Structure 1
Amino acid sequence: MLGRRVVSGLSACFTVGVLAVSGCGDGRADGSDTNNVTGVSADGTGDGITSLGTTTNGDGDGDAGDGDADTNSGDGDGDGDPGDGDADTSGGPKFDIAGIPDGELDCQCGTTLDFSYIWIANSTQSTVTKLNTETMEEEGRFLTRADGNGSPSRTSVSLSGRAVAVANRNGGVVKVFSQHEDCDPNKNGMPGLQTSTDSNYLPWGQDDCVDWFVPFDYTTQRPVAWAPGILDMSTCTYSNEQLWTAGCKPGQDQVVKVSLIDGDTGNVEFTVSVPGFECSSLSPYGGAVNAEGNFWFTNLVPGNDRLGFVNRLTQETQVWNMPITPYGMTVDHDGNPWIAAWSGSQSASAAKFDVQTETWSYANNHVAHSLSGIQEDADGRMWMNYWTYDGQNMGTGGLVYIDMATMQVSEPFDLGCQSSSCRGMSVDLNGMIWSTSMASNTAFRFNPDTLQIDTYNQLVGPYTYSDMTGWGIQSAACGPQG
């Protein structure tokens, strides 16, 4: 049995954060899909969109995005993005405070909210699901683009836990509030709060919890990652949270463009072109942020592998060649990027880039291959999916972890995931490991202490493995113990 430390420091100003999961379903948005949910009770029989404070009727029609959810190729998405950083020009986020001046609370770095969600992109439905990670109940579903053809992929939860941002592969980023108290009850022009509270979703422009949408003239846009804002020590809340994204228009743009967005207004603060980082249909691919709020990103172009960097304050860019082809990527609590090897890549499960020495180290005592996201937990383990293990087809897919100190790959843990389908990867603030499968529309929750597996299967083409829960930014900005 795996040993796992309990995450410490959870207090009134630091509690469980946000998550998102995909489950299986037949694509219906009427809440009538009650396909199997194992390990816990999950009910997909909601009565439609719930109106808080008044009544409204949602049409419930599942407008389909075209998506690129191909389980046999690397043309989807993939990264366990931990976003982080802050908008305070004096440096990184504030951590433990030695003394507490009068009028200030004992704030700790991280979310102040007392709920836990995982946000999963339903790629082929052009929606995002808000899934409670403890009850395994879906508490909202939201369109990600007006035409229902966004093909959403990466999701990123802010360090405050108050919002999720979703990037559409076909262009555009949407922000959704996680708490009803933050939503504008008059945003859609009707009195009272209208918002989704189950697997049904409102037509575009009708959900009061969708804060803004920023259009981009891109035909490929995957990376998205929040940077933490400025911590107000009198309220233990964050302000001035910013958001990174990247994309381009293959055939027109020569190089990738990276943008920083004001998280409150949706205004683009700046956009930089990145020389040496070529634009193509799968470039850029993954993105994550370090504690200073700087942006790391990757592509998926075998033989032309790139790791890019943009400094938030100076807007300076750098590009490195990578020794293996990446799929998922993340940034650890030391600020070092990690990449999960693309299926068929060189003989390593993953690789770590040391930012101080600009050298690579490899996890290759066992070779776990898949198209997988990757994310750090609180116990110094970097988790990813596997399809094959040391060249052997295991029949079904599952999880492995890499000891971050030794770079040793663990034994495999079978999830019973349909072969070659598990790609999504995230860790929640309770230490549970999450994976998502497009083929079975299922989210898997794995307990690393008991090895228990719970599933939720009411999703539609889930293809998310960025910072779905907010743990990535929590770990990168605040350290793995908060």
Structure 2
Amino acid sequence: MKKTLMMIYGIVAAVSVLLLPVVGVAAKGKPVITRHDASYMQNAIHFIVQWQSSNPVAKVRVSAGSEQKEVSVDEYDNRRNPSGYEGEVTVIANMTPGLAEAVSYVVQLEDDLRQRSDLATGKLKPPRGARIADDHWGRPAPVGGQPAPGGQGEIIDKLLGVMQRHDTPPFLDEIKVNKISATKVSFSSKANDDKGLKEIKFRILDPAGAVAKEQSLTGLGLVWQGATDIFELAQGNYTVKAQATDTAGNLSQERSATFAVTGEPVMPPGPLTVTITPQAALDAGAQWRVDGGAWQKGGSSVAGLSVGPHSVEFSDVAAWVKPGSQTVTLENGKPGSAAGVYGQGAPGSITAAIEPQAALDIGAQWNVDNGGWQKSGATVSGLAAGTHTVSFKDVPGWAKPGNQNVVVESDKTAPLRGTYSQSTGAMTVTIGPQAALDAGGQWRVDNGEWQKSGATVSVLSAGAHNIDFADVAGWSKPVPQTVTVESGKTATGAASYARIYTTNKDFDEGTLVGLEHQTVSDQLQLSKTSTTLPFIWVPNSNEGTISKVDSRTGTELGRYRTGPTTGGSPSRTTVDLKGNCWVGNRNTGTVVKVGLLENGQCVDRNGNGKIETSTDGKALAWGQDECVLLEVALSKGKEGTFKPGAGNVPYDSVPGPRGIAIDAGNSLWAGTYGTYTYYYIDGASGTILKKIDVSSVGHMAYGAVVDATGVLWSADLSRSSVLRLDTKTGSFKAIPLGQQAYGMSLDKKNHLFIAGWCSNSLARVNTATGQVEWRKPTGDSCSRGVAVTEDGDVWVANSYSNTVSRWSNDGQKKITIPVGNHPTGVATDAEGKVWVVHYGDSSIKRINPATNKVDLEKAVGGPHYGYSDMTGIVARTMTTQIGNWTVMLDAKADNTKWSTVTWNGAEPQGTAIKVKVRSSKDKQAWSAWEDVQKGVALKATPDARYLQVEITMQILSGEASPVLSDLTIQIK
């Protein structure tokens, strides 16, 4: 049936026809334009469009000049043929008066599966006699040449591009649950997309919402219809959800269906029995059949049918009006039935009106006696006189009208009305963590009012709804979600904000050591200023302990035994890159590692959930302090690593370890005085990795540092030399100094400074060349410890002069500062101040370089015989360049489930960024540190309210600094 969808009557001025050849049977799932005609009418273009399609065509789109038309095609305009459907419509497109140029146009079809035809394009010349200056079609046209940019030619070209690129979300039909056996199911559906389906994902959710099974279907093309694999499930109630993704990444509406696995066997359905009335029709030969099979008598049964829908039709009988065909759905283990009523006399009809329009817009329809679906206002004719059943189609989000029994009379049309009512449900969404909620975290549905976590929004239409989340400073909001609401039910959703650190203010919430954000704002990079952790570790040589002191206040924060007796004579205290202290015991031949409690380096050995350790000037018994981590024996031939307090340690006074230094990998070099050996010890486990015998040069280690190139420098007091040991190759040589060698330190300009003890001189060695650049008399008596401050000045402790002298980098003495009884060692702290420790009494003192005066003095422990890297500043800023940022997030909710940590930044060659985390319920007892892989779920970090994150950034070679741009903590 040819149908005009829109008509503007006028006089045809000229005709130009473009005829496309028939391209054959339409490709499956895609309509084909077999012909289109275009001709001018008064101020309009008249199009006739014909098609062939596997599915009924639903829409025709035409664009001509600046005019665009989209018309809907009635199902009666689609005529059945052996290849599918054919049809024809007429479309009228208004034109702007005054156009005398050729007009470009585009035609496209869309079927009821939303599949689109290829574009048909053409150009229509103006009718004969049309003049540029005077348009006799309408109003006068302006005089001019070619169309200006943006005119009709350019518009249509752009329109072509837009239409070709236009991409709609894929369509996915409802899910059908197929029960295969007592415990096995599969799911079927169909889907299509105009650009191609990339994936359809099916997920089976258990009652708790967890994914029980899932499957992704890929390689589907433009149209898919089929079923999933067969899944075997335990008894219970389940929900299956499916969603399609097209090749452009668009998502379909999520479909869902609920079902139960009862464990009961799937039985074939019982027989289908169909009765026919009245008897007179049966006597006249009325029969029925199912699915096109053999004809059956009324009241007979057909067995062996499958579960699912079946078509029942009735035979033609002379002088009788047969019932319409019916669809009967057979269920598991149940018989089915149907009834057909033949009528006599002239047939009648039924017409039905459906409301409201919103229900019609999404597919509301009706049928008679389970026949074909009809649109609102349609009339079904040829019905036998008698009672017929009118049913209504299920529409998502709407409650359909109940079935109606309608009495049809001969030669009359029975009217009826069906009213759909909108199905509603509710939704509640929980969001976290509480810290994000306190900062303003909220949610909303379909751009409505903002809601708090746990709030319920009622009277929502059944179907899919969009959820989004409020912006919160310092937090990354969850991605928007689609939640499906079912009628009469409350749908639930859940999401978590992620804490993101990316501004100066964010970074200032944590503690920065060796990192800064001033050079480039809103990112972290290594500081060019030397710094370290705010602690100094002081040996109490007469009592066999070392003390940890807060370098900001001078408070003693802990005292630790370094052996089972007081006679170990701890001396060289050297701090590693994590803040732990290694100390050499001269009289017992061991080196001992003590962990930094404040950095989570201690171990809960007895498993009671807390760290037993000293927190003041009282030391615990040997082996009882859980911050005393390792004891490494260096007795030649009996070397080994022991747990403190375990016993059977081969104590030996001969080795006398005195050269103690940390390398860029945070492992330890320990040199012995009496056995001429350097040991390389794993900083984490205490395992001895290798030994280097330096007896060939008679080297007796007395102090050590490692420079930025990995070269170990070791003082030899007895031979007035310094050892240069290449730790990469193991090669070494002794460099004569012309003075005794005692304390040493490095600056940032490849210089090594060595105090000459009672030679009363100070030497500078170029670490790049190995040459002694100068040696100068000090005028002081018996110099020991050496330290270098950020300005390059050199500070020397003079034991018998009871002073500290300050030197310029090129060897000019600036000032001598009296400090008291027998100073031995000096060290630079985190604030650039200089500490001096005394052997003549228990004093430790701090000098302010700005005033060259002592600004703090404390009595700690016993005499302090030490002059190594007591604060760790040499290892952190000279041996390598390293910095840390430590931050703690309070989720404000117990048992918070920590998910992932991700970060962005730059790691130039020769640099590294490492991240680790730990959690706590109370900020007192912490879990063990877990090393983090970017974006990978945490595995060992317990659920807890607090999460502490430590970022370590390090330059291993070169000068470029790594950069941290942002860090995000994701919560489940």
TM-score range with shorter-chain normalisation?
A: 0.5 to 0.7
> Which residue identity lines up with residue 157 of structure 1 in the other structure?
V
Task: Provide the residue aligned with 2:876 in structure 1.
Answer: 474
Residue 386 of structure 1 deviates from its aligned partner by 2.8
What displacement does 1:126 show? 0.8
User: Per-residue deviation at 1:361?
Assistant: 2.9
Partner of 1:298: 715
Q: What is the SS of the residue equivalent to 2:774?
A: strand
Structure 2 letter corresponding to 1:213: E
Alpha carbons 1:225, 1:287 under 8 Å: kept: yes
State the match for 1:402 in structure 2. Answer: 807
Quote how far apart the aligned CAs of 1:115 are. Answer: 5.0
Partner of 1:315: 730
The alpha carbon displacement at 1:478 in A equals 5.0
Residue 690 (structure 2) aligned to one of 270, 275, 284:
270
TM-score (norm 1): 0.67
Q: What is the CA deviation profile of residues 451-479 of structure 1, one whole-angstrom value per residue up to 9, with x for unaligned ones? A: 34211112212111100011122331357
Give distance in 2, aligned partners of 1:198 and 1:140: 4
The offset of 1:181, in angstroms, is 5.3
- Aligned pairs for 1:16-415 within 5 A: 16=513, 106-108=524-526, 116-161=534-579, 163-170=580-587, 171-180=589-598, 182-188=600-606, 190-217=608-635, 219=654, 220-229=656-665, 241-249=666-674, 253=675, 256-278=676-698, 283-301=700-718, 304-343=719-758, 345=759, 349-362=761-774, 364=776, 366-386=778-798, 397-404=802-809, 406-415=810-819
Query: Aligned letter for 1:298?
Result: A
| Contiguous gaps of at least 5 residues in structure 2 | 1-506, 636-651, 884-960, 962-972
Q: CA RMSD in A?
A: 3.2
State the SS of the aligned residue for 2:783: coil
| Distance in 2 of aligned mates of 1:191 and 1:479 | 35
Which structure has more strand as a fraction of its residues? 2
Q: Which amino acid aligns with 2:877?
A: S
Letter in 2 for 1:295: L
| Contact 1:120–1:155 under 8 Å retained in 2 | yes
Amino acid at match of 1:286: G
Letter in 1 for 2:742: Y
d(CA) in 2 for partners of 1:139, 1:477: 27
Mark the CA change 1:437 to 1:190 in structure 2 (over 3 Å): closer, same or farther: same
Name the SS for the 1:136 alignment partner.
Answer: coil
Distance, in Å, in 2 between the alignment partners of 1:151 and 1:293 is: 29
SS in 1 for 2:844: strand
Which amino acid in 2 is paired with 1:336?
H
1:444 aligned residue: 845
CA 1:311 to 1:358, structure 2 compared with 1: closer, same or farther past 3 Å? closer
Whether the 8 Å contact between 2:533 and 2:830 is mirrored in structure 1 is no
Structure 1 position 109, deviation (Å):
6.8
Indicate conservation of the 8 Å contact 1:157/1:469, yes or no: yes
Counterpart amino acid of residue 414 in structure 1:
P
Q: Larger Rg: 1 or 2?
A: 2
Percent identity between matched residues is 27
SS at match of 1:474: helix
CA distance in 2, matches of 1:112, 1:208: 31
Query: Take 1:261 and 1:309, find their aligned partners in 2: how far apart are those partners?
Result: 19
Superimposed CA distance per residue, residues 210-269 of structure 1 (whole angstroms, 9 cap, x where no aligned partner) = 12111110521111111133xxxxxxxxxxx211111154xxx4xx10011110100011
Would the aligned equivalents of 1:305 and 1:323 in 2 still touch at CA under 8 Å? yes
Distance 1:112 1:387, change over 3 A: closer
One-letter amino acid of the counterpart of residue 574, structure 2:
S
Question: Which one-letter code corresponds to 1:284 in the other structure?
Answer: A
Q: How many residues align?
A: 356
**Following the alignment from structure 2 to structure 1, what is the Cα–Cα distance between the partners of residues 845 and 599?**
30
- 1:292 is displaced (CA, Å) by 2.8
In 2, the alpha carbon distance for the partners of 1:400 and 1:311 equals 32
Distance 1:151 1:369, change over 3 A: same
> Residues 162-214 of structure 1, C-alpha deviation per residue, up to 9 Å, x if partnerless?
x1111111211111111345244531465521000001011111111112111
Distance 1:360 1:179, change over 3 A: same
Distance 1:113 1:429, change over 3 A: closer
Q: Does the C-alpha gap of structure 1 residues 365 and 191 become closer, same or farther in structure 2, counting only changes over 3 Å?
A: closer
Secondary structure in 2 matching 1:266 = coil
- Give a deviation string over 1:436-462, Cα, whole Å, max 9, x none: 111121101011113342111122121
Question: Within 2, Cα distance between the matches of 1:378 and 1:265?
Answer: 33
- Post-superposition offset of 1:125: 0.8
Helix, strand or coil: the match of 1:308?
strand
Is the CA contact (8 Å cut-off) linking 1:139 and 1:198 kept in structure 2?
yes
| CA deviation after TM superposition for structure 1 residue 309, in Å | 2.2
What is the DSSP-based 3-state SS (H/G/I as helix, E as strand, rest coil) of the residue aligned with 2:875? helix
Alignment partner of 1:463 is 2:865:
yes
Supply the distance in 1 between the matched residues of 2:780 and 2:600 (Cα, whole angstroms). Answer: 42
Output the CA distance in 1 between the equivalents of 2:807 and 2:707. Answer: 20
Relative to structure 1, the CA distance from residue 14 to residue 350 in structure 2 (aligned partners, 3 Å threshold; closer, same or farther) is farther
- C-alpha distance in 2 between matches for 1:153 and 1:462: 8
**Residues 331 and 111 of structure 1: is their aligned pair in 2 closer, same or farther, counting only changes over 3 Å?**
closer
Offset at residue 278 of structure 1 (A): 1.9
CA spacing shift, 1:334–1:445, aligned 2, 3 Å: same
Instruction: State the TM-score, normalizing by the size of structure 2.
Output: 0.34
On the 8 A contact 2:659/2:702 being kept in 1, the answer is yes
The whole-number CA distance in structure 2 between the counterparts of 1:387 and 1:152 is: 18
Structure 1 residue 134: deviation in Å? 0.7
CA contact (8 A) 1:15 1:112 kept: no
Partner SS for 1:193: coil
Change (3 A) 1:135 1:461: same
The alpha carbon displacement at 1:357 in A equals 3.7
Alpha-carbon distance between aligned partners in 1 of 2:511 and 2:751, rounded to the nearest angstrom: 25
- Structure 1 stretches of 5 or more lacking a match? 1-10, 18-93, 230-240, 389-395
Residue 207 of structure 1 aligns with an amino acid whose one-letter code is D
Return the offset for 1:407: 1.6
When structure 1 is superposed on structure 2, of 447-456 and 370-379 the one drifting more is 447-456
Cα distance in 2, alignment partners of residues 205 and 110 from structure 1 = 40
Contact 2:817–2:853 at 8 Å: present in 1 too? no
Cα 1:16–1:450 change in 2 (3 A) is farther
Is the contact made by 1:183 and 1:208 (CA closer than 8 Å) also made in structure 2? no
Q: CA deviation at 1:110?
A: 9.7
